[in-house]
Amino acid sequence: MTERLASRSILAKSAARGEAADLADPRAFETAVRPHYASLVRRLVLVLGDENDAQDVAQDAYLKAFRSWARFDGVDVRAWLYTIGLRLAFNQLRRRHRWLAALQRVEPRPWRDPSDPDLWAAIRGLDARTRSALLLSVVDGYTHAEIARMLSVPEGTVSSWISRGRATLRNELRQCEG
């Protein structure tokens, strides 16, 4: 949550003063996006379930962000990076499912969390969009309206995903613990 607030302040401060973010300066881009790389990779590990895929998608997201830097609204750089990264991740999952179906193979080298395997198993049972919405809400503290904008879906859909996601996790974890 703290990271999110910090990301908002990077460029929002200048916006509040009526100054435009220096979108023409590549060094401004690097300064603004660098602090969010590790957290984006971690988020993508949870969404994609694979560390290598997460690294690849994060790199693609940063490249795409660099190319679109001039179009960034200068408000919340973290939300902007997550939006790009998550959309690329969803595309990657679609491609992966098609390939795995075509090759009739199971997913290669999934990430595993030995510290809380029940929660990770329950999280993996959610579809990627529900998982993403839940994490954006729970871990980052974004509102349903903000998440709706990031994932390009209606706000009601986000509320429904988060509600169902929470219920599913609660039930799964209760079964594991019971």
Partner 1 sequence: MNDIDLDLDRRLAALEARAQGRDDPPGLPAARRRRRVAVPIALAPVLVLVLVATVAAGAVVVRGLVTAREGIENPGQPLAGAQLECTTPREAAAFLAAHGYPDIVWQVEAGNPTANGGRGETTSTQQATPPEHGYVIPGSILDDGRPIMVIDQRVGASGVGACYGMPMP
Among residue numbers 152 through 171, which ones bind partner 1 (CB under 8 A)? 166, 169-170
DSSP structure string for 62-120: HHHHHHTGGG--SS-HHHHHHHHHHHHHHHHHHHHHHHHHHHT-PPSS----TTSHHHH
Q: Does 129 bind partner 1 (CB under 8 A)?
A: no
Among residue numbers 48 through 107, which ones bind partner 1 (CB under 8 A)? 51, 54-55, 58-59, 62-63, 66
Region of residue 106 (phi > 0: left; psi between -120 and 50: alpha; otherwise: beta): beta
Q: Does 30 bind partner 1 (CB under 8 A)?
A: yes
Q: Does 125 bind partner 1 (CB under 8 A)?
A: no
Q: Does 34 bind partner 1 (CB under 8 A)?
A: yes
The answer to whether residues 52 and 96 touch, using CB atoms and an 8 Å cutoff, is: no
Interaxial angle between packed helices 26-33 and 2-16, expressed in degrees from 0 to 180 and rounded to the nearest 10: 150
Residues lying near partner 1 in the complex (CB under 8 A) are found at: 26-27, 29-30, 33-34, 37-43, 45-46, 51, 54-55, 58-59, 62-63, 66, 109, 111-113, 115-116, 119-120, 123, 134-135, 138-139, 166, 169-170, 173
